[in-house]
A and B are shown apart, each in its own frame.
Chain A
Amino acid sequence: MNKTGADIILETLAREGVEVVFGYPGTNCLPILDRMSDSPIKHYLVRHEQAAAHAADGYARATGKTGVCLSTSGPGATNMVTGIATAYMDSTPLVALTAQVTSDLLGSDAFQETDIIGITMPITKHSFLISRVEKIESKLQEAFEIARSGRPGPVVVDLPIDVVTAQYEGTVKKKPTFAKKKAARGREIETKVREIARRLNEAERPIIMIGGGIKLADACMPVSELIEKGRLPFVTTMMGIGSVHSPNGFNLGFIGTHGSELANRAVHQADFILAVGTRFSDRSTSKIEQFAPLATIAQIDIDATSIGKNIKSDIALVADIAEAVRGLTPLIEKKQRSAWMDRIATERAQIEEKHLSNGFGQVASFIGAVQGIMGEDAIAVADVGLNQIWTLRSWRSNTPRGLLTSGGMGTMGFSLPAAMGATVGSPDRAVIVFTGDGGFFMNIQELATISYYNLPVKVIVFNNGHLGMIRQFQDLFYDARFNACKLGDKADITAIGQGFGIPSEKVTLADAITAIERMKQAAGPYLLEVFVDPDNYVYPIIPPGGSNIEMIYGRPK
C-alpha cells in the first residue's frame, strides 16, 4: 500500500508519543486530518487557533510532554502566533504544525498563504518548511527533539499540501544525527561545582533562587534535597512556584514586582545567591542596579544566553541543572546560620502584621476555600492581571505543575484554553481557571469547546467590570485619570456560561462556599462569576522603576 506524506506525519507523531492534537481545520489541512481519523491520535477541535496553541501549551505545562497544535495555512497559522510567542517566552516544548499552500504557489500571495516561518522566526526555537515528502519523517523527528531538548521551546513545521499528499515508498527508519550543542560536562562541572559549594558553605546569608527551569530540567528533586541538606532558605520566580515543597518553612515566596515582600527583602540582604533555572527577567529583578546589592551570584542554567544577560553572575555554569546539583549536594554542609534564620523569622512576622491590615484578605480567603474544597492536587490556571497575582499569592502549590500562568509574555486569555489542555493531559486532577472578566472575554469562544467535549474545567471569573490592573496603575500612577479600563456590566457572564451549556452561577466573595461545593460536585465544567469591588487592588506592589524593596501598600504619597 502506498503511503502518503500525511501517513508519515501521523506515524511519526505517534512514534514521538503524541496522543492528542489541538487544532482547527482549513482546506490545506484536510489530507492530514483525513489520515488522523484512522490513527489513535485524538484531535480536539477548538474555536480559534490561538486557543489551539494555548491548549497545546497548557497540555505541555501540565504534563511535561511536548504539546502539539495544528492549523491550516494563512489566517489559521497567523492566529497561532500569540500562542507560540507565549510558549516561547516560558520555554514550553511545543510543535506547531501549520498546513501550507502547494509548493508551486509559495510566494505568489495565494489564497490563505502566509510566510509563517518568517513571521515566527523571532518567537520559535527553530522552524521547518518541508519541501519533499522524503524529508517529512526526519524533519518532524528533529522538530520534536529540538522542542524538548536543552532549553525547551516552540518549533513550527510548515507543511505544503502537495508534500503532504505526495506518495512515498521508502522506509527511513534511522534516527537523523543532530550536532549536539556543547554544554559543560564532567570535569568542567566538577570544578565550578566545587567553587559554588565553597562559597555557599562560607556564606552567612545564602539564598537559593529557583526559576521555571528546574521543572523543565526535571531537577525538582535534586534541588529539594540540596535545600533540605544545607538548610537553605529559598525564593522562586513566578515560573518556579511549586517546584520545591519544603516542610521546614525554607520557602520565602516568589520575588519580583508582584512577589512576596519577604522574598524580596531576603534577596536584598543575601550575601550569596545560587540561581538555578532562571533568566533574571525584569519582573524578578525590578531595578537591576538595586537587585541583591550585597550578594555574590552563582548561576546554573542549560542556556548560555540566560547567563549574565541581565545580571552579571560571579560564577556561571552552563550545564544540566539536575546533573550539576546532584554533584553539588554532597559538598554542602548543614549549617544552622541562626543569625540569618532569625532575621528572616523577624521579617516574616513584621510583614505578616502589615498584611493583616489589608483588604486583600477576602479574595485570599475565597481562593483558599476553593483550594480547600477542590483538593490539594488541583491545578490552578491563572490568567493575567489582578486575578493572576491574587491566585499566585494565595494558591498553595506543592507541585511544579500545580499552578500554570503566562509569566514571560503575560498573555491575557491564556487561562481558559490552557486549562483545556491541562485537563486533557491530566484528567485525574481537577483543573481550575482563575481569570478576570478582561481575560475571560479574550478566548471566551472556548467555552464552546469545553462544553462540547464536556471537559471538567472549573472556571472562576473575578468580575470587577474593569481591567483591574490597568485601573490600579492609572489610579496610583496617573492621578486616577481612568481611560480604557472600564468593561462595564452589560454582559451577563453567568447567562453567557449557561448559553454555552455550562452550569453557571453568580456569587459574592463573602458567600461562596455552597457554590464552590456545587462546582466540585459537578462532573463536568462549571462556571462561577464572582463579583469583586473594582477598588480591590493588589498590594503590596513595586511601583514602575522601583527596586525590589520599594514595595508600597497603598497610594503613593
Chain B
Amino acid sequence: MLVRNRSGVLSRVAGVFGRLGYNIESLCVAETINSRISRITLVSRANADFTDKIKKHLDRLVDVIEVTELKQEHSIQRETILMAVTLTPDNRRDVMQAVDMYGCKIVSIRDDYCIIENVANRGETQTILNYFKPLGIEELARTGLIALRQIQQDAGEEQ
C-alpha cells in the first residue's frame, strides 16, 4: 500500500485489520523516494472474499493512496532475516555447510555463537529456517516481506 507519511497512519491500517478480526503476519513500512509517501508491505492470511473486503476498507482510509494485492507469481518478494545460531563442536560443521549451501552470510561470529543473514523470497526463507531450526536458532529477527510488481518482459505477454 502507498500511504501518506503522516503520524497515525500505521495505527489506522492496523486498526482496520484488528476490527475485522484478522491477524497481520508481517508488516514492513518505510518512506519511498517521495518522503511524504510511505510504502507499507503487509502479509495477512485470508480468502478471496476477505481480501476484497479488506482492500475496500483500507482504501477508504483518508491517508491511504493506493492498495494493491501482490501475488507471488507477479511480483519480486524478499525478506531479510537475521538468525543468532549457537555454535557447538557438534553443530559447527553443519552450520557452516548450511551457510554455504544456501548462500547465507555470516555477519558476526564468536566461538559459541554467530549471526547469520539471509535475503530470499518467502519459500526459500522458510526452507532455510526449517533447516537451521534443529541446529539451534537462539534468536530470530525478520523484516517481513517487501515486494514490487514484476517487470513485464513483453508488451503483449500475459501476466
**Which A residues are within 8 Å of any B CB, using their own CB?**
117-118, 121-122, 125-127, 129, 146, 179, 181, 303-305, 308-309
Contacts and interface: CB of A to CB of B under 8 A. Distances in A.
B21 to A, nearest CB: 13
A121 B11 contact: yes
Given A121-B8, A179-B4, A305-B60, 9 more contacts: A117-B8, A121-B15, A129-B7, A179-B65, A181-B60, A303-B60, A304-B56, A304-B59, A304-B60
Contacts of B65: 179
Nearest to A312: B49
Contacts of B19: 122
B7 A125 contact: no
Interface in B98-153: none
B57 interface: yes
Interface residues of B, number: 17
B62 interface: yes
B15 A146 contact: no
A181 B63 CA distance: 10
Contacts of B71: none
Contact of B11 (A118, A146, A179, A303): A118
Nearest to A305: B56
A195 to B, nearest CB: 20
Interface in B44-90: 52-53, 56-57, 59-63, 65
B11 A181 contact: no
B94 to A, nearest CB: 48
Identify the 8 closest CB pairs spanning chains A and B, nearest first: A126-B62, A304-B56, A305-B56, A121-B15, A305-B57, A179-B65, A305-B60, A146-B62
Nearest to B14: A121
B12 interface: yes
11 contacts: A121-B11, A122-B15, A125-B62, A126-B61, A181-B59, A303-B60, A304-B56, A304-B59, A305-B56, A305-B57, A305-B60
A304 B59 CA distance: 9
Interface majority SS on B: helix, strand, loop or mixed? helix
Nearest to A125: B62
A140 to B, nearest CB: 14
Contacts of B61: 126
Nearest to A303: B60
Contacts of A308: 52
Contacts of A181: 59-60
B73 to A, nearest CB: 26
Interface string B5-28: 001100110010001000000000
A127 B6 CA distance: 11
A345 B65 CA distance: 50
Contact of B12 (A121, A303, A309): A121
Max chain A Cβ within 10 angstroms of own Cβ: one of B12, B15, B53, B56: B56
B47 to A, nearest CB: 14
Given A117-B8, A121-B11, A309 B53 contact: yes
A181 B66 CA distance: 9
Contacts of A303: 60
Nearest to B55: A304
A309 B54 CA distance: 11
A121 B52 CA distance: 22
Contacts of B11: 118, 121
Nearest to A304: B56
A335 B111 CA distance: 88
Contacts of A118: 11
B62 A305 contact: no
A158 B39 CA distance: 26
A126 B61 CA distance: 8
Contact of A305 (B8, B15, B53): B53
A117 B15 CA distance: 13
A308 B4 CA distance: 28
Nearest to B54: A305
Contacts of B56: 304-305
Nearest to A146: B62
A124 to B, nearest CB: 10
Contacts of A117: 8
Contacts of B7: 129
A308 B52 CA distance: 10
